[in-house]
Amino acid sequence: LMETRNIDAVVADQPDNGTLRVITSDNVSIVVKRNILLDNSNNQFDGKLADSLAQGPILSVQFTESSQVFNLLLDVLLDREPVWHEPAPAAISDLLACLTKYGVSLDDKFSLQQQQKPFYNFVLTSAISYPLDTFALVCKYHLEDLAVECARRLLSIPLTQLTDEQSIDIGPVYLRRLTILHLKHAEGLRQLLAHLPDRHEPNERCNDTSQKDNLERLWSSAVKEIWTEGEVSTISTLEFQSRLEPLANQLHCGECQLRMRQRVQRLIVEWSTAVFAEL
């Protein structure tokens, strides 16, 4: 049995001078306007439609892609929401390979100017659940704007989690840029952590020397412990909160406790909103 689908409401059930029937690898027949394919391709769809205008109507053209991949391709060409497809690396990989094969400009479809288009957000949605895989894919196809966007989701992920395959897809240029991004992020955190808690006005129970010996030394010791554990730039704000907030309980001065809690809260806000560099 062959399933037939019509692309665009004005397409008839049978091909005519302006339409053709696409046969996918899973034996699905898709009737589509010929100009939708030709106008978006710089190689006449890998030569499959090279003689279509000269010869008049083509009854059918066989494609090696599945109906799922081909429908995704048509969704891109028509700027339609891919409502029936999950944003996942496998689907995006097949789609990008298909678009490249058939001469569709990726820059025209996935540049920053297209960020309001469905498929720009389709890729970014994939990056939420599959940040490394999605970043590797957009780097492989040199999609600069998407690479920059996806890289923002990698700051909490240690680079040691990259597989060999992902590193190959990312390539040396983007891998170097990602490494530098992580280093700058770590340096930014080092600078944030270097700020000691504010001192309070000296009183009978707690003078400047006491604050230096207790409040500041306790903070510095905790920061040093965190820093020596490695991959410090990937620590989440919740982890900072759980590790640093209890420090206040080790202080006997109420005002020192308040200063410590204020410093922890300020660090959490600073770390959650910090942007030290872009890819």
pTM of the predicted protein model: 0.83
Report the percentage of the chain scoring pLDDT > 70: 89
Neighbour tally for 225: CB within 10 Å: 10
Q: For residue 134, what is the DSSP state? A: H
Contact 132, 161 (CB under 8 A): yes
pLDDT digits (tens, 9 = 90+) for 231-251: 677 888 888 889 999 999 999
The residue-averaged pLDDT of 6-19 equals: 52
The residue-averaged pLDDT of 34-43 equals: 91
Chain-wide mean pLDDT for the chain? Answer: 87
CA gap 24, 17 in Å, rounded: 21
Is residue 262 classed as helix, strand or coil in its secondary structure? Answer: helix
In this predicted structure, the answer to whether residue 1 has a pLDDT above a threshold of 50 is no
Contact 57, 17 (CB under 8 A): yes
pLDDT digits (tens, 9 = 90+) for 130-175: 999 999 999 999 999 999 999 999 988 999 999 999 999 999 999 9
CA gap 229, 250 in Å, rounded: 22
CA gap 65, 87 in Å, rounded: 18
The model's confidence at residue 3, banded by pLDDT at 50, 70 and 90, is low
The model's confidence at residue 10, banded by pLDDT at 50, 70 and 90, is very low
Let me know how long the chain is: 279
Spatial CB neighbours of 200, under 8 Å, sequence gap ≥ 6: 206, 211, 255, 256, 258, 259
In this predicted structure, the answer to whether residue 112 has a pLDDT above a threshold of 90 is no
Amino acid present at 66 = S
Residue 187 corresponds to which tokens in the numbers above? 């340096």
Residue 190 corresponds to which tokens in the numbers above? 């080092």
The model's confidence at residue 11, banded by pLDDT at 50, 70 and 90, is very low
Which of residues 260 and 33 earns the better pLDDT score? 260
DSSP string, 226-243: HHTTS-GGG--HHHHHHH
pLDDT (0 to 100) of residue 20? 84
pLDDT (0 to 100) of residue 51? 67
In this predicted structure, the answer to whether residue 13 has a pLDDT above a threshold of 60 is no
